Structure 1
């Protein structure tokens, strides 16, 4: 009997030790997140330092969870592809679009809310009511963005001529030089970039939004390490809810000039 017990210990102890070491190794690795580059006030670099609403919220959430986090600022399309193939654990920030559920898990609550509008040169305003208002115009968008179904269908059918670039700053330059008739982008982020570039009042938003104010979420890649870790997801959502309820979200918004 004693020999059988010793044999079982010899068999199972290495297995248990291996599982324990694997879990410890996973916990010691950084939670790797990608965010869209150069999108103030959400993510941007100032004097060589990463900062922004999304950046600060994710950093604080990781601190409260007791985990290490690494956040890289990359072009939108690279982040999108990395979430599809699991090259990163998470990404920020995404509107909840049903089709994306095939490759990402949406984390609640949203980390901020945004609307998307049409921007034009001052004096060239027109009434926007639907994507049909953009037919025949040269429209700048950020590469990889999907605004809404009607807009996407108009692009696919050739009714809207889009020009894609990696960030809003490039589209601003193209509007200034007359290479675009308009662009569609995040209202708050674009207004801040225009102000920083001394272009406030020269490039202006149209009143009616392309996308009404909606929540944008931190997401997890379904091909990544944490997609099946219900404990991790539960802890992350719990921490974000607490941060929203205790005023941390609002304090961070105010720090960057948002109401």
Structure 2
């Protein structure tokens, strides 16, 4: 098939795919401040605003839903959502999702502990006999998930996890550094809970979409426009506003994945 014919076919498939969704892309994500969250009825956040700008430049309308992460994943599997914001790459999801080559942002997972009950942490061996707070719907590495040295206990929200840590119902909790700092500030627990400086893992976050006709072209266009936007002053302003750092590609080697 001549190149121009293949190119035209791809554009037709993309058009039909978008038209089948009433010209709106259905994107789901979990509140994950400062990357994406809702405040006074308005969706905000570094990755949300970046993605919204990129889609606007591509001329694509988006329908957003902020839901618990486990439900977001279920909607993707059931075909009720076209994509997810701030999802980590994993080999298990490659059969269902397409990822742009350019990540939105990077996260650093660390442990948090209550000042009244400090627990030093460097490796999984330091967690013997402890209970670690986790998040439902997150994928953990086999070593973290199956270790018999400690218990894992989920909570429905990040706020609930920090509340359990404050009350001594768990010994530690693991979450992204910036997310943890934001929750502590909102809950006014900064003087009671401390962030362990040891970075358990670093991981890149993406806007991923389901594997449908024409979506491969959308992913390529999104990645190219995202790269352009990151070179502009407007992106630097977003970075400064949310106290983040520019994303850098990291090889997935994480004991925790969204």
TM-score (norm 1): 0.82
5 Å-filtered alignment, 1:51-200, equals: 51-154=44-147, 158-200=148-190
Is 2:14–2:218's contact at 8 Å kept on the other side of the alignment? no
Q: What are the ranges of 5 or more consecutive residues in structure 2 without an aligned counterpart?
A: 1-12, 246-258
* Matched positions, count: 234
Q: What are the ranges of 5 or more consecutive residues in structure 1 without an aligned counterpart?
A: 1-18
Q: Deviations over 1:162-205 (max 9, x none)?
A: 11122211101111122111111111111111012211131111
Runs of 4+ in 1 over 4 A off after TM superposition: 19-24
Offset of residue 104 of structure 1: 1.5
SS of the aligned residue for 1:207 comes to strand
Q: Deviations over 1:135-173 (max 9, x none)?
A: 32121111011243321231xxx4331111222111011
TM-score (norm 2): 0.82
Higher helix share: 1
Distance (whole Å) between structure 1 residues aligned to residue 26 and residue 227 of structure 2 = 21
SS of the aligned residue for 2:71 comes to helix
Is 1:126–1:206's contact at 8 Å kept on the other side of the alignment? no
Is 1:121–1:204's contact at 8 Å kept on the other side of the alignment? yes
Is 1:122–1:204's contact at 8 Å kept on the other side of the alignment? yes
2:220 to 234, 244, 251: 234
- CA RMSD across the alignment: 2.3
